Amino acid sequence: MNKNIVYAGLGITAIGLALLFLFIPLSGISAVDLGKDYDKGDFKSYSDGDKVTVYGEITDVEEDDNGVWLELDGQDFPVFIDGGKASDYKVGDEVIIHATVVEKASINIPWWGIEVRMEILSATPGDVQYKTTLEGIFALIAVAGFITILVGAVKN
């Protein structure tokens, strides 16, 4: 048994498992938690231009002339994928989106002096990652560590 290889394998396995279970929750905010921060068209903790990494399950997909609107985990805040196509996203997909908070004026009625504004999350198709892809990579790292342990255990 080669203890150095076994210890290296243990380290690689630990890193893989830590990434698998901790990376996504520590690198962003869940759609449910972000939804609690969103009230009447405003994010309480974020301002126009702030970067936000949000993860969740797609629960609705709508397409317009400019891109795709996604709903995550049934939450109220809109996520706009500029230039995206609805066929690229399916209800049930788990995604991680690196977005920017953007202030949009939704209704402007100047003769009444009314402007209803709201904040949305805006991203491009390149800012969307599938959660299962990252989890698969992290699981492979853990498996590689386990294989390294086995190699170290049988090698002299």
Cα–Cα distance measured from residue 52 to residue 37, given in angstroms and rounded to the nearest whole number:
12
Cα–Cα distance measured from residue 118 to residue 136, given in angstroms and rounded to the nearest whole number:
36
Residue 117 is predicted with a pLDDT of 66
Domain that holds residue 17: 3-154
Q: What is the dihedral of CA 107, 46, 31, 33, to 10 degrees?
A: -120
Residue 10 is predicted with a pLDDT of 92
Asked if 79 and 71 count as a contact pair (C-beta separation under 8 A), the reply is yes
| CATH, residue 84 | 2.40.50.140
Cα–Cα distance measured from residue 59 to residue 68, given in angstroms and rounded to the nearest whole number:
13
Domain count of the fold of the chain: 1
Query: pLDDT for 51-104, tens place per residue?
Result: 999 999 999 998 888 888 999 999 988 898 988 888 999 999 999 999 999 887
Cα–Cα distance measured from residue 138 to residue 70, given in angstroms and rounded to the nearest whole number:
26
* Coil vs helix vs strand at 15: helix
- The two tokens of residue 17 are 């498992």
- The two tokens of residue 83 are 């230039």
Cα–Cα distance measured from residue 53 to residue 30, given in angstroms and rounded to the nearest whole number:
9
Residue 27 is predicted with a pLDDT of 81
Residue 78: closest CA among 110, 113, 26, 66: 66
Residue 110 is predicted with a pLDDT of 55
List C-alpha distances in Å: 143 to 13, 50, 123. 7, 37, 33
Query: pLDDT for 20-39, tens place per residue?
Result: 888 887 888 999 999 999 98
Query: pLDDT for 122-148, tens place per residue?
Result: 899 988 988 888 889 999 999 999 999
- The two tokens of residue 65 are 């002339």
* Residue in the structure block whose two tokens are 């702030």: 50
Strands 51-63 and 29-30: parallel
